[in-house]
Amino acid sequence: MPIEIFPPALLAKDKQEDVILFLQKLPIPPRRKKEALVSWCNYVGVALTHEMVEILLGPLEERAR
C-alpha cells in the first residue's frame, strides 16, 4: 500500500495513535488496513507489533469469525 495515502502530518513516529484512528475510518478491507500500517511502520521506522494490529483490527478471535 503506498505511503501517499497518509496525510503528511501523520508521517512521524509519535503519530502512531493518530495513524491507527485514521486507518480505522478508511472504507477499505481489514487486510488493506494492515498493509497500510506496515507501510507506515517501515516508512517512519517503527516496529510493527501484535498490539498495534489488534488495536487497528480488533482481537484475532473476533476477526476469525
Give me the amino acid identity at 18: D
Q: What is the pLDDT of residue 30?
A: 94
**What are the average pLDDT values for consecutive 10-residue runs of the chain, which has 65 residues?**
93 98 96 97 97 92 63
CB contact at 8 A, 62 and 22? no
Q: What is the pLDDT of residue 23?
A: 98
Instruction: Give the helix ranges, DSSP H, for the chain.
Output: 16-25, 30-44, 50-57, 60-63
Place of cell 472504507: 27
Phi and psi for 55 in degrees, rounded to 5? -65, -40
This prediction has a pTM of: 0.90
